[in-house]
Amino acid sequence: MRLKDCHNFQDFRTLAKKRLPSPIFNYIDGGADDETTYRRNTAAFETCDLVPSVLTGVKDVDLSVTVMGQKLALPIYCSPTALQRLFHHDGERAVAGAAEKYGTMFGVSSLGTVSMEEIAKQTTTPQVYQFYFHKDRELNRAMMQRAKDSGVQVMMLTVDSITGGNRERDLRTGFAIPFKLNLKGMLQFVLKPMWGINYVTHEKFRLPQLKEHIDMGSGATSIGDYFTNMLDPSMNWDDVAEMVKFWDGEFCLKGIMSREDARKAVEIGCTGVIISNHGGRQLDGSRSSFDQLAEIVDEVGDEIDVIFDSGVQRGTHVLKALSLGAKAVGIGRMYLYPLAAAGQPGVERALGLMKAELERDMKLMGKTSIDQLTRENLRFRF
């Protein structure tokens, strides 16, 4: 199987599985506990059907949206994800390059493997910085200042990771950063020698956003320790209100799932909320993002941008979320498998296929611009 044989999400997943040592594949592919929320995320799109209109004249379709003050050529953007250079040696450079080619936004993770400064210099399209809240308030301010100085347009605070999700696939393989593989896990690396050759012949693996806080060399501090020791589980609305004030720009909360929390986000001055359950990687048993979207749009959709992620695999999933009132849709695994499968050409192919799918689906729906999508286009089955 090669890149040209990949026509959809599942094809890219299959190719990524072939290329990656299984502990790394399972890190991307897995969810928390029994993975019920993870499965439900995508299944939830099937609870409603699209109702198309015909004979509306759909020669030219405009897929652009404006979200968090940023004009995007597509209604999807690449949500921030950790450790991308483990999946392919070009990591964030490849994903940001592909996102730029398709005129959309790219999110740099706090656990990213290329610096936010480098990505900001490399691309002209809008950039998000995904932030975790540290016990050390000075450090929080210093990191936000760093993001400001590098020209990041949107600050995204992840609020659903107050503690790590229970990813049992990682426990079985021993996946951790720095690596602490068990024997079975190590064997999986031996079985994928090309990945190993690429890993050792390219620039050393780093976490530039956190280089002073995680010791990659001796392994004295791991990502697990960073979460336990440096992040602040007592973070509350007052803390975030201060951050919003300090940032003084586009600020969104990623991982909002209740309408009450969305309301509080408005009250403290956020300009957006992302309805997300972290792709089913945090609280298993949590409702799917799609099931929660409508009530949150109804609560705050006229006041701030309601954005959506988790479970998206198809253009029709995107259209359903936009029809319910989301302003834009984040994708995670949908670009990570292509990255692992083939680097930047892989991500470009995935975004290109998604763009073509969205254009085709819009035409079949009888729509020429995203603002024509409304709840009138949907019927729920129960």
Ligand X SMILES: Cc1cc2nc3c(=O)[nH]c(=O)nc-3n(C[C@H](O)[C@H](O)[C@H](O)COP(=O)(O)O)c2cc1C
Query: Binding residue for ligand X (CB under 6 A) from 28, 95, 105, 243?
Result: 28
From CA 349, how far away is CA 342, in angstroms rounded? Answer: 9
Question: DSSP letters of 267-324?
Answer: HTT-SEEEE--GGGTSSTTPPPHHHHHHHHHHHHTTTSEEEEESS--SHHHHHHHHHH
Q: Which of 88, 89, 134, 278 is catalytic?
A: 278
Instruction: Report if residue 165 touches ligand X, rule: CB under 6 A.
Output: no
Residue carrying the six token digits 């493997």: 113
Instruction: Answer whether 195's CB lies under 8 Å from 201's CB.
Output: no
Instruction: Report if residue 279 touches ligand X, rule: CB under 6 A.
Output: yes
Instruction: Report if residue 13 touches ligand X, rule: CB under 6 A.
Output: no
Instruction: Report if residue 331 touches ligand X, rule: CB under 6 A.
Output: yes
- Residue nearest ligand X by beta-carbon distance: 332
At 66, list the tokens. Answer: 């404006």
Which C-beta is closer to ligand X: that of 97 or that of 330? Answer: 330
Instruction: Report if residue 254 touches ligand X, rule: CB under 6 A.
Output: yes
The amino acid present at 28, given as its one-letter code, is: I
Nearest Cα residue to 247 out of 117, 68, 71, 79: 68
Choose the binding region for ligand X from 57-65, 165-173, 218-226, 276-284 (rule: CB under 6 A).
276-284
At 164, list the tokens. Answer: 């790590």
- In the complex, the smallest distance separating the C-beta of residue 141 from ligand X, rounded to whole angstroms, is 20
Look at phi and psi of residue 255 and say left if phi exceeds 0, alpha if psi is from -120 to 50, else beta.
left
Instruction: Report if residue 158 touches ligand X, rule: CB under 6 A.
Output: yes
Nearest Cα residue to 130 out of 86, 94, 92, 167: 92
The answer on whether 158 is annotated among ligand-binding residues is yes
From CA 196, how far away is CA 178, in angstroms rounded? Answer: 15
Nearest Cα residue to 186 out of 197, 198, 171, 174: 174
Which C-beta is closer to ligand X: that of 109 or that of 344? Answer: 109
How many residues touch ligand X under the rule CB under 6 A: the total is 26
The answer on whether 349 is annotated among ligand-binding residues is no
Which C-beta is closer to ligand X: that of 113 or that of 344? Answer: 113
- In the complex, the smallest distance separating the C-beta of residue 262 from ligand X, rounded to whole angstroms, is 17
Query: Binding residue for ligand X (CB under 6 A) from 93, 167, 278, 355?
Result: 278
Binding positions for ligand X, 97-126, rule CB under 6 A: 109, 111
The answer on whether 81 is annotated among ligand-binding residues is yes
At 288, list the tokens. Answer: 């799917």
Query: Binding residue for ligand X (CB under 6 A) from 26, 37, 81, 286?
Result: 81
- The interface mask with ligand X, positions 294-323, x = CB under 6 A, is ---------------xxxx-----------
Nearest Cα residue to 284 out of 43, 41, 37: 37
Choose the binding region for ligand X from 89-97, 170-178, 201-209, 327-335 (rule: CB under 6 A).
327-335
- In the complex, the smallest distance separating the C-beta of residue 109 from ligand X, rounded to whole angstroms, is 4
Which C-beta is closer to ligand X: that of 254 or that of 314? Answer: 254
Choose the binding region for ligand X from 80-88, 216-224, 234-242, 258-266 (rule: CB under 6 A).
80-88
Instruction: Report if residue 333 touches ligand X, rule: CB under 6 A.
Output: yes
- Return all residues near 186 (Cβ < 8 A) that are at least 6 apart: none
From CA 36, how far away is CA 311, in angstroms rounded? Answer: 12
Cis peptide bond prior to 178, omega within 30° of 0: yes
Nearest Cα residue to 334 out of 40, 107, 29, 103: 29
- In the complex, the smallest distance separating the C-beta of residue 239 from ligand X, rounded to whole angstroms, is 17
Instruction: Answer whether 341's CB lies under 8 Å from 15's CB.
Output: yes
From CA 26, how far away is CA 175, in angstroms rounded? Answer: 9
Binding positions for ligand X, 179-238, rule CB under 6 A: none
From CA 35, how far away is CA 356, in angstroms rounded? Answer: 31
278 given a catalytic annotation: yes
The answer on whether 313 is annotated among ligand-binding residues is no
The answer on whether 199 is annotated among ligand-binding residues is no
Residues found near ligand X in the complex (CB under 6 A): 27-28, 41, 79-82, 109, 111, 130, 158, 254, 276, 278-279, 281, 309-312, 330-334, 336
Q: Which residues are catalytic?
A: 278
